Amino acid sequence: MKRLVKPSTLQLTMPFGKTLTFTVVFLILFGSAAEGMARLDVFQARLTPPTLGSRHSQLGYKLTLLNADIRNKGPVDCIMVGSSTVDVGFDPEVFQHAYYAVTGHEIHCFNFGIDASSSISAAVLANILVEDYHPRLLIFGTDARDYAVKREDRDTAVVLDSPWIRYRDGHFSPEGWLLDHSYLYQYRQHLAVLLRFNSQGALWSTTNMSYKLRSNGLNPIETVGAYINDPPDPDDDSYEVVYYKRIYSSYQMLDENLAALEQIMDHKRSGTEVIVVEMPVSDGLYYFFGNGELDYDRFVAQVEKRASRHQVPFWRTEPLDSIPDNDWSDYSHLNLSGAEIFSSWLGEKVARLETQKDADSIQQ
């Protein structure tokens, strides 16, 4: 028998490795079969969407909803990205109706607002969504908070630290690659939970969602916020008030966040129409800023300046100052009625812009 290796301790002889080779072959076979099963609709229908390695459940949910929406209604024409203000404030259905009323054309939109994201996470998500779904219109719903939170901020990091997001953002990792290419890997966490006799969070049938997303991505909020036009009670230590004070009391727009805004607007160069829209905020929010409306105006001016440089429309929502007090859920989030008003206004505005462009191109 011939020695395979020279060292005195390791004395392997031929034939060697037959079982290991078969194991690899079987592993590929069984793994492929499992991957095939994980891709079946019947398998995915019972499981909650995979988290894609993120601690933020909304990311996986919205991607799954978007894929299902495309399967049911065809390719998506426009996607709106942004933070929770978009998540709860943009109703694609109302938007589509308003658009149709002006143009007589159908448009298929999806709300990809992610709770707690900033302009940086919105930019990364926009890259992925444009690359994968090729919408003709990308709308970025922005607010002052988008530029004040640091990349390392817990809330922003929760989206950006997802291995899948990092992989798609150009940081290779085996986990990110697997999440991007393998459904089995995406659902692995759920399967592990199920193996441990705990279906909570893994099966739709046993999962109590803290929010109910609509198939078009809207996260409808029915609650009506109180006193949103008044300054906050100094003794109020609710999460929302403490959070706004932290973010806005010495308001700074960070360069990395402004650069992310420009990155979103850069999609215009590759043929995607980009619109930046200021998300409505209640008058009460100004009280949180150290310099009141001056700080807020600084935010508007900075966004306006960059939008104009990129020749991207930036729409203020001043015309919506008339949103009734009952149509807010808190200082900066619309409830369902508020979302209807905002989305209808936006749909109409987009329709008019496109009609105008069509008219311009005919004239030319």
Partner 1 sequence: MNITSLHFVLFTAFVVALYYCLPQRLQNFWLLFASYVFIATWNWHFAVIVGLVTIANFLIGLRLRVNGQGWRGLLWFGIGVNVSTLVLFRAAKFFLPELEAVLGSLGISTQAGSLKILIPLGLSYYVLQAISYLVDVYRGQLKAESNIVNFALYLAYFPKLIAGPIERARTFLPKLAQPRVVDNQVIARSVMLIFIGVARKLLIADLLNVSLLSDVFEIPAKYTPPELVLWLVIYAFALYNDFAGYTDMVRGVSGLFGIELSANFRAPYFARNFTEFWKRWHITLSEWLRDYIYFPLSRLLSRNAPGQHKVANLILPPMLTMLVSGMWHGLSLHMLVWGGLHGLYQIIERIPALWRPTVPPQSQPIWRQWLGMGVVFTFVILAWVPFRWELPAAFELWGALLNWSDVAIRYRRLFLVMPILFASLLIDLLQHKSEDEFIFLNWSPLARAACMAIILLLVFIATGDDFEQAFVYQAF
Q: For partner 1, give the closer residue by CB, 68 or 191.
A: 191
Q: Per-residue x/- mask for partner 1, residues 12 to 41, rule CB under 8 A?
A: xx--x-xxxxxxxxxx-xxx--x-------
Quote the least distance from Cβ 8 to partner 1, whole Å.
Answer: 7
Burial 298-319 (b: 16+ CB within 10 A, else e): bbbebbeebbeebebbbbebee
Quote the least distance from Cβ 206 to partner 1, whole Å.
Answer: 12
Among 10, 42, 45, 362, binds partner 1 (CB under 8 A): 10
Q: For partner 1, give the closer residue by CB, 22 or 243.
A: 22
State whether residue 313 is helix, strand or coil.
Answer: coil
Is there binding between residue 11 and partner 1 (CB under 8 A)? yes
Is there binding between residue 212 and partner 1 (CB under 8 A)? no
CA 30/CA 34 separation, integer angstroms = 6
Quote the least distance from Cβ 199 to partner 1, whole Å.
Answer: 11
Q: What single string gives the DSSP state of each residue in 86-138?
A: HHHH--HHHHHHHHHHHHS----EEEEE-TT--HHHHHHHHHHHHHHH--SEE
Amino acid at 280: P
For residue 339, what are its two tokens? 């979302």
User: In this structure, are residues 277 and 139 in contact, taking their beta carbons and an 8 Å threshold?
Assistant: yes
Which residues are 301's β-sheet partners? none
Is there binding between residue 192 and partner 1 (CB under 8 A)? yes
The CB-based long-range contact list for 306-311 (8 Å cut-off, 24+ gap) reads 306/258, 306/261, 306/262, 306/265, 307/265, 307/276, 310/262, 310/265, 310/266, 310/268, 310/274, 311/268
Q: For partner 1, give the closer residue by CB, 151 or 188.
A: 188
Region from 4-12, 227-235, 240-248, 300-308 binding partner 1, contact rule CB under 8 A = 4-12
Q: For partner 1, give the closer residue by CB, 193 or 254.
A: 193
Is there binding between residue 174 and partner 1 (CB under 8 A)? no
Q: At what angle do helices 174-181 and 183-195 cross, to 10 degrees?
A: 100
Quote the least distance from Cβ 103 to partner 1, whole Å.
Answer: 47
Q: For partner 1, give the closer residue by CB, 60 or 347.
A: 60
Residue found by looking up tokens 């069984």 in the block:
30
Is there binding between residue 9 and partner 1 (CB under 8 A)? yes
Q: For partner 1, give the closer residue by CB, 166 or 333.
A: 166
Is there binding between residue 259 and partner 1 (CB under 8 A)? no
**Where do contacts with partner 1 occur on this chain (CB under 8 A)?**
5, 7-13, 16, 18-27, 29-31, 34, 188-193, 195-198
